[in-house]
Amino acid sequence: MAGYTLVVGTRNWSSWSLRPFLALSATGAPFETVVIRLREKEHPSTRDRILEHSPAGKVPVLKIAEEGDTTLVWDSLAICETLAERHPQAGLWPADARLRAQARALSAEMHSGYPDLRDQLPMDFVRHLPLPELREATGQQIQRIQQAWEEALALSGGPFLFGRFGIADAMFAPVVSRFDTYGVTVSPAVRAYMERIMALPAMQSWATAAQEEVAAGIA
């Protein structure tokens, strides 16, 4: 049996780390979590500590230990794809080919898009902050995300974007937290979806850890 270790960044801030954490949790496989603190001005060796785990110099990274060897997988979407391949029973991609194609497209859109949203509404998982004056592009990206969620939910019938919880939900979970943090106005359907995501045990576990970071003054 493979042994998994997921190396993540500070949980209150690291949106990229949250994504594979949720996907890995959904497989039901046991795993260890290693946390590397980010944004530490007094510790300029943060990148060196990350390089001890990831050749890309970024978190997250998944370590798969089996048969006396360790495989490293970095990049959130690559980790999620690897987990879907290794744990088909988890249904991280929809069984239906049409839904699977849509889920992949939407996950890739999240992976490479929405630069203004990322810039103006950075993840601050457990805090509630005032909504800044949004640039036009940011507003358009927020509208696009809500439209995409509503269309996916209507197409699949829910309760998650493509039926059962999957990679597309994991990819957008940090956006759910951002909408909650900044009090973004959303439609009733989107609000209900956000509540389902936030209620996931893995999201609650992440929130607890993030709250502990904030309480300790490290996030």
pLDDT in tens, 104-158: 999 999 999 999 999 999 999 999 999 999 999 999 999 999 999 999 999 999 9
The answer to whether 8 touches 35, Cβ cutoff 8 Å, is yes
Q: Is residue 43 scored above 60 in pLDDT?
A: no
- Domain 97-202 in the same topology as domain 3-90: no
Predicted pLDDT at 176: 98
**5, burial (CB in 10 Å: exposed 0-12, middle 13-18, buried 19+):** middle
Predicted pLDDT at 49: 79
Residue 151's nearest CA partner among 109, 116, 95, 112 is 109
CATH number among 1.10.230.10, 1.20.1050.10, 1.10.357.10, 1.10.20.60, domain 97-202: 1.20.1050.10
Confidence category of residue 47, pLDDT binned at 50, 70, 90: confident
- Provide the CATH topology of domain 3-90: Glutaredoxin (3.40.30)
Q: Is residue 56 scored above 90 in pLDDT?
A: no
pLDDT of 5-30, one tens digit each? 999 999 999 999 999 999 999 999 99
Please give the structure tokens belonging to residue 11.
């949980």
Greatest pairwise CA separation for the chain in angstroms: 53
Q: Is residue 62 scored above 70 in pLDDT?
A: yes
Predicted pLDDT at 50: 78
In the chain, domain spans:
3-90, 97-202
